[in-house]
Amino acid sequence: MVMRAETQLQERIRAFDDWKTELLDAVRRLQEWLSTHGDDDNSQTLRLYEAMEALRNDRLNIAFVAEFSRGKTELINAIFFADYQRRLLPSEAGRTTMCPTELFYDRQADEAYVRLLPIETRLEEPSISEYKHDPAYWTHIPLDLDSPQQMEEALHQVIRTRTVSRAEAERLGLLGEQLHHPGQGTDPDQVEIPVWRHALISFPHPILQGGLVILDTPGLNALGSEPELTINMLPSAQAVLFVLAADTGVTRSDLDMWQYHIDGARRSRRHKGVAVVLNKIDTLWDDLREGSSIDASLQSQVRKTATLLGVESEAIFPVSAQKGLLAKIRGDSELLARSRLQALEDYLCKTVLPAREGIVRDNIVGDLSGMLDDELRVLRTRHEHTVSQLQELRNLSGKNADVIVHLMKKTREEQTTYQKNVESFQASRRLLQRQAGALLETLSLEAVDQLISNTRKSMMGSWTTGGLKRGMRTFFEGSRAAMEQSIEQAEQARRLVMAIYKKFHSEHGLPAIQPRMFSAKTYTDKMEELYEEAEAFRKSPVTTMTEQSFVVKKFFISLVSQARNVFFKANQDAESWLKEVMNPLSAQIKEHKSMMERRLQTLRKINESRDTLDGKITELEGEHGALEEQIATLEDIRARMLRPACFQASSAA
């Protein structure tokens, strides 16, 4: 199938992927350099491996959230897939996407397919994330890219439904959803439910191959009945587009969805990455009205929407997805301008992509550039010492033996003093290890597991709303208390580390180093965000209408797994930090000791035979050149690591 030229958004996503590829190459070069010139440091090897895996697996996640019939799937087609000259995803009048759908490209399988998770898996304990690791549970349908009909039939699976008894829907935890289904009675004997719980679509479109993942969610009730969407998937998305319809405005269910599932994510993002799309503005187009009158009507609706949702008008994008898709397919620039789709695409280009780059840069570049700076610092110190020693040896030409003996004596005295301070440093390290034990104790997984066990027993033994609330409060109060203690212990460890560094640098005149610090607040904030999401779900009307044992079983398991994961990551991060925080200073100490020993050995050999002097000067000159070459290599790697993505540069131009 012939495709049109890339849109600006596709171009920027491709540029972002190219930037990550270049960054991966820089990390690989650093790994190769360290394997040749660095110490055999397992922690460095692990960090580099993890960084490369993170870059290979990095994804740009954009979630589309809306009630039924808001044109959400059509919007996805219009923004991302118009170059296929057709609707790639099924988009029809009425109720379309029936299960949460992730659209991406599976690089590992390198295959186009649809995978569908049966709705019956809701009765089991594993989460959707866990099911993803076991293909046996999924129905797998390969996509034939040469057969539009086969692709259409396969993709239409995501809208399949079946009719079951009310008892079966209640057993699956879906009865609350049916009570919200328009056109059905208040107590039907038979209800319609989705056939599938979750869909994964792997498709080899260039922007999906570049790492874009699109999450399409089917309405308020799916968010309410699948807490994993609210607790895991939406908060992890780099952008959440909340889609409304201009012909209906903000309905009660729209407002519920916003308040219970979106606004918490918006607040946790500090108002970044969440936008409102007012779709179907073409319903306001009227040939009997002037354009200014239509614009005024549209602006009025934008202001009303902003007031109802509590957002700035600039965060609302009025569009016509259907006309935008049609305009792109026909190449109609005038219709495309009227659809206003470009403004939304500009937002994704200029806000979402740079924000994702910032996250990658903070998580990967920030950590590795510190490692690289440590290596550069050692090389520069070694280079300065080599220059100093060269000057010293050149000055020794023609000097008598007494001068050399004096230098040897002075160097031995420096060594003795230095060794005493090294012993003091080792004592400080032992003190830090004791502080480390106190910090890790506050983040103990055993203590968290005990809290989880007690809370589960309390909640499972209570069948009232008040009991559930008390269980939630007990769990989060215990979690918060542990996190608060970890902040205090981390601060004590930080002060101790800084004192050790300052003492050694001031006593020996070594270049000052600013060690990387552990921040427990990062994890405290994550716990607070998780708590807000849990509260929103607990207060959701869908949750209230869903059978209580199902809510406890599914929601609390999802909540607990996320909370435990926060502690697990905090514990890992703290342990890793405590193992590595003294490494830069240790490397400095080791290098300084080595240089003094080499200097003494050189002076001893020259004292024994003056013929050695010229040979040592030649040897040091060779080392000097090699060090300059290594420094240049690392500086080049560092420059490549810190280079901004080209889309960021062009945005600023």
Tell me the CATH number at 216. 3.40.50.300
CA nearest to 34, candidates 56, 52, 53, 54:
52
Cβ(257)–Cβ(223) below 8 Å: yes
Cβ(12)–Cβ(212) below 8 Å: no
DSSP result, 378-396: HHHHHHHHHHHHHHHHHHH
Q: Which amino acid is at 233?
A: M
The pLDDT value given to residue 271: 42
In this structure, are 321 and 469 located in the same domain? Answer: no
Quote the DSSP letter at residue 114.
Answer: E
User: What's the pLDDT band for 179 if we cut at 50, 70, 90?
Assistant: very low
What dihedral do alpha carbons 471, 477, 479, 482 form, nearest 10°?
-150
* The most confident of 40-54, 64-78, 391-405, 594-608, by mean pLDDT: 64-78
In this structure, are 182 and 220 located in the same domain? Answer: no
Is it the case that residue 462 has pLDDT exceeding 60?
Answer: yes
- With tokens 């659209």, the residue in question is 103
Is it the case that residue 640 has pLDDT exceeding 80?
Answer: yes
Residue 636 maps to a domain: no
Using DSSP bridges, classify how beta strands 113-118 and 139-142 pair: parallel, antiparallel or unpaired: antiparallel
Last residue of a domain, one of 177, 194, 211: 194
CA nearest to 575, candidates 40, 43, 48, 51:
43
Q: With pLDDT > 90 as the criterion, what percentage of the chain qualifies?
A: 20
Q: Which of 323-337, 385-399, 601-615 has the lowest mean pLDDT?
A: 601-615
Is it the case that residue 446 has pLDDT exceeding 50?
Answer: yes
User: CB burial class (10 A; 0-12, 13-18, 19+) of residue 463?
Assistant: exposed
Structure confidence by residue, pLDDT tens digits, 111-162? 999 999 999 998 887 888 889 989 999 999 999 988 888 888 898 888 888 8
The pLDDT value given to residue 639: 92
The pLDDT value given to residue 343: 92
Cβ(535)–Cβ(232) below 8 Å: no
In this structure, are 145 and 173 located in the same domain? Answer: no
In this structure, are 328 and 450 located in the same domain? Answer: no
| Helix 557-580 with 521-539: angle, nearest 10 deg | 180
Whole-number Å distance between alpha carbons of 396 and 598? 17
In this structure, are 557 and 528 located in the same domain? Answer: yes
Whole-number Å distance between alpha carbons of 77 and 90? 9
Whole-number Å distance between alpha carbons of 127 and 227? 10
Is it the case that residue 210 has pLDDT exceeding 50?
Answer: yes
Residue 384 maps to a domain: no
Between 204 and 515, whose confidence is greater?
Answer: 204
What dihedral do alpha carbons 536, 541, 546, 552 form, nearest 10°?
20
In this structure, are 166 and 93 located in the same domain? Answer: no
Cβ(131)–Cβ(137) below 8 Å: yes
In this structure, are 169 and 301 located in the same domain? Answer: no
Q: Which residues pair with 136 in a beta bridge?
A: none
User: What would the mean pLDDT of 594-599 be, rounded to a whole number?
Assistant: 79
Is it the case that residue 463 has pLDDT exceeding 90?
Answer: no
CA nearest to 416, candidates 596, 212, 646:
596
Using DSSP bridges, classify how beta strands 212-218 and 101-104 pair: parallel, antiparallel or unpaired: antiparallel
The pLDDT value given to residue 368: 86
Whole-number Å distance between alpha carbons of 131 and 199? 12
Is it the case that residue 336 has pLDDT exceeding 70?
Answer: yes
| Backbone φ, ψ for residue 60 (5° rounding) | -100, 105
The count of structural domains within the chain is: 3
Residue 379 maps to a domain: no
Q: Which amino acid is at 355?
A: A
User: What would the mean pLDDT of 421-445 be, rounded to a whole number?
Assistant: 81
Whole-number Å distance between alpha carbons of 363 and 516? 13
Structure confidence by residue, pLDDT tens digits, 98-125? 788 999 999 889 999 999 999 999 888 7
Whole-number Å distance between alpha carbons of 87 and 277? 20
User: What's the pLDDT band for 244 if we cut at 50, 70, 90?
Assistant: very high
Residue 216 maps to a domain: yes
User: What's the pLDDT band for 652 if we cut at 50, 70, 90?
Assistant: very low
User: What's the pLDDT band for 52 if we cut at 50, 70, 90?
Assistant: very high
In this structure, are 313 and 440 located in the same domain? Answer: no
| Element containing residue 463 per DSSP (H, E) | none
**If you count them, how many residues does the chain have?**
653
Cβ(565)–Cβ(238) below 8 Å: no
The pLDDT value given to residue 182: 43
Residue 53 maps to a domain: no
User: CB burial class (10 A; 0-12, 13-18, 19+) of residue 477?
Assistant: exposed
3-state DSSP call for residue 217? strand
Average pLDDT, the chain: 81
In this structure, are 546 and 573 located in the same domain? Answer: yes
In this structure, are 440 and 299 located in the same domain? Answer: no
Note down the domain range covering 132: 60-159+196-339
Between 611 and 520, whose confidence is greater?
Answer: 520
3-state DSSP call for residue 400? coil
Neighbours of 449 (CB within 10 A): 13
The pLDDT value given to residue 24: 93
CA nearest to 221, candidates 157, 174, 258:
174
Close Cβ partners of 11 (under 8 Å, ≥ 6 residues apart): 647
In this structure, are 94 and 201 located in the same domain? Answer: yes
CB-side exposure of 142: number of CA atoms within 13 Å? 7
3-state DSSP call for residue 522? helix
The pLDDT value given to residue 195: 92
Is it the case that residue 648 has pLDDT exceeding 60?
Answer: no
Structure confidence by residue, pLDDT tens digits, 254-309? 888 887 777 765 555 444 578 999 999 998 887 656 767 878 888 888 999 999 99
* The most confident of 175-179, 374-378, 455-459, 567-571, by mean pLDDT: 567-571
Residue 8 maps to a domain: no
CA nearest to 65, candidates 350, 280, 276:
276
Residue 232 maps to a domain: yes
Structure confidence by residue, pLDDT tens digits, 524-559? 888 887 777 667 666 666 566 666 666 666 666 667
User: What would the mean pLDDT of 171-197 be, rounded to a whole number?
Assistant: 66
User: CB burial class (10 A; 0-12, 13-18, 19+) of residue 91?
Assistant: buried
The pLDDT value given to residue 564: 87
Query: How far, rounded to the nearest angstrom, does the alpha carbon of residue 545 sit from its chain's CA centroid?
Result: 34
In this structure, are 174 and 243 located in the same domain? Answer: no
Structure confidence by residue, pLDDT tens digits, 223-242? 656 767 766 677 778 889 99
CA distances, 173 to each of 66, 99, 122, 224, 550 (Å): 21, 14, 8, 10, 6
Dihedral sign of CA atoms 161, 164, 166, 167 in order:
negative
Whole-number Å distance between alpha carbons of 193 and 169? 7
3-state DSSP call for residue 263? helix
Residue 204 maps to a domain: yes
